[in-house]
């Protein structure tokens, strides 16, 4: 009788062990599948990220080029104004933009080309670039 009980207990333990092994195997297979799926998704995300990085760098390069062109255009415009346009507030002098802040801050000033300011009898302030005066004297 004892031998039979031991055999039944042994069979039960072996059966339980077999169930645990099968269950563990199923879990292991599922885990590997999930790991494989996760790795695939990660590869996909890394590929998309690399694609976005490439697009970002291309856009950044185009933006820098446009910014450079815009900067060059603005610089040329400002150089034109610095070379040809003067500001005449109250008084008898003409000035370059930025000579002193109160000229434009007051809002009471006129804007002329250099030759026109000279024709009207205005004289250059010390802020006027001597090259501007030489250029106009040569004309």
Nearest CB to Zn ion, comparing residues 2 and 96: 96
Listed in sequence order, the residues at least 6 apart from 110 whose beta carbon sits closer than 8 Å to its beta carbon are 87, 88
E-assigned strand segments in 1-139? 85-89, 93-94, 109-113, 123-124
Q: Which of 97, 111, 112, 127 binds Zn ion (CB under 5 A)?
A: 127
* Cβ 72 vs Cβ 106: under 8 Å: no
SS3 109: strand
CB of residue 114 to Zn ion, shortest distance in Å: 13
Q: What is d(CA 131, CA 124) in angstroms, rounded to the nearest whole number?
A: 12
CB of residue 82 to Zn ion, shortest distance in Å: 13
Q: What is d(CA 43, CA 40) in angstroms, rounded to the nearest whole number?
A: 5
Scanning 10-18, 52-60, 76-84, 89-97 for contacts with Zn ion by CB under 5 A, the matching segment is 89-97
Phi, psi torsion values for 86, nearest 5 degrees: -125, 165
CB of residue 117 to Zn ion, shortest distance in Å: 12
Nearest CB to Zn ion, comparing residues 1 and 121: 121
Residues 55-84 that bind Zn ion (CB under 5 A): none
CB of residue 69 to Zn ion, shortest distance in Å: 32
Binding mask 90-109 for Zn ion (x = CB under 5 A): -----x---x----------
User: Does the footprint of Zn ion cover residue 124 (CB under 5 A)?
Assistant: no
Listed in sequence order, the residues at least 6 apart from 76 whose beta carbon sits closer than 8 Å to its beta carbon are none
User: Does the footprint of Zn ion cover residue 114 (CB under 5 A)?
Assistant: no
List interacting residues with Zn ion (CB under 5 A). Answer: 95, 99, 125, 127
């Amino acid at each position: 009788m004892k031998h039979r009980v031991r055999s039944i207990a042994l069979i039960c333990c072996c059966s339980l062990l077999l169930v645990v092994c099968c269950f563990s195997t199923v879990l292991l297979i599922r885990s590997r599948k999930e790991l494989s799926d996760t790795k695939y998704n990660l590869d996909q995300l890394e590929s998309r990220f690399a694609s976005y990085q490439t697009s970002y760098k291309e856009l950044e390069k185009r933006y820098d080029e446009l910014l450079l062109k815009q900067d060059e255009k603005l610089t040329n415009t400002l150089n034109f104004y610095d070379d040809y346009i003067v500001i005449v507030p109250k008084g008898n002098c003409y000035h370059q933009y930025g000579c002193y802040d109160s000229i434009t801050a007051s809002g009471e000033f006129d804007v002329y080309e250099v030759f026109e300011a000279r024709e009207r009898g205005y004289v250059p302030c010390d802020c006027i670039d001597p090259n501007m005066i030489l250029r106009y004297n040569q004309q």
